[in-house]
Amino acid sequence: MRDDVAPRREGLPACFRVTDEVASALEANEAVVALESAVLTHGLPVPQNIQAMAAMERAVRDAGAVPATCVVRDGRLCIGVTPEEIEAAAQDPGREKASVRDLACVLVGGGVAGLTVSATIFGAQIAGIRVFATGGIGGVHAPAALADVSADLLQLSRSRVITVCSGVKSILDIPRTLEALETLGVPVFGYRTDTFAAFYLESSGHPVPEVRSCAEVTRIARAHWRVGLRSALVIANPISQAEAISPDDWSQWLAEAQDAAVKLGIRGKALTPYLLETLATISRGRTVRANLALLEGNARLAGEIAASLTQ
């Protein structure tokens, strides 16, 4: 690899487990894309979650790259897992969701954990993987009073990994999240668009600089890291027009789901899963279908960027 950080296998901490396929690809300077697994364990219902991971891995391969889905199991941070391990993680009754701060706990616990963006890009950087795909990154939650800011943001400022996403999770405050990324010095680009993607919606309307090709992403990322900066770069890739949800439908569905949550007194950790589940019901599956489409699209683009990075 021509970047300043060479892929590593030897000298990796003992708690890392890298599959032979991923390790050989990295050693041979072939394209590799890291994938998160919190979307598998906590983001989508069974069986759509398993289908989503399979579709993402396939899209990465179709683009000429090797997928490296990252999961914690048996006390190891696994970089690359088998389809059987994906199914097992999706259905494990004791599965946890781990960000960077939870990593040590779940490693010691010995069980299964789906990794968020923060934990995945941390592991990817150590393993020497330079490209990562997800649906939406974590960020700043809408009600300011919650003061809920995802660990993803700080970790993006610490991991040299190109992060392909369709913006931030659907229920977050987009302008506040973009301000936080600016404060942290994390560059954000729109892929073939000059506005920031808005998960299920095509655009948030917030302006971002546009990149036109994978080669351009690669040039900018190399310059960013060669000059000595140590952060991720966020590439916001909008959902395809065909699968995008109209802003009117979305605001109506979200208001309905939020009303229901308030009436039932649902708060804290239970709020996001409740909202997503209710939105899926109200929209008769449209939100889940859109989620699968954007995950697959991001995996494909990440694969193409990873292939371009090997040139």
Could you list the residues that contact Mn ion (CB under 5 A)? 148
- Provide the CA 268 distance to its chain's centre, in angstroms: 22
> Which of 159/218 has CB closer to ligand PSU?
159
Q: How far is the CB of 109 from ligand PSU (least distance, A)?
A: 18
CB of 268 to Mn ion, least distance (A): 10
152/296 with CB nearer Mn ion: 152
- Footprint on this chain of ligand PSU (rule: CB under 6 A): 36, 38-39, 42-43, 99, 116-117, 135-136, 138, 150-152, 169
- What is the CB neighbour count within 10 angstroms for residue 42? 18
Q: Which is nearer to ligand PSU, 9 or 158 (CB)?
A: 158
Q: Based on CB atoms, which residue is closest to ligand PSU, 203 or 272? A: 272
Report the partner that residue 117 touches, choosing among ligand PSU, Mn ion, none (CB closer than 5 to 8 A by kind). Answer: ligand PSU
* Active-site annotation holder among 169, 202, 296, 304: 169
Q: Is 36 a catalytic residue?
A: yes
Q: 157, 108 in Cβ contact below 8 A? A: no
Quote the least distance from Cβ 199 to Mn ion, whole Å: 16
Question: Closest CB to Mn ion among 92 and 148?
Answer: 148
* Catalytic residue numbers, as ranges: 36, 169
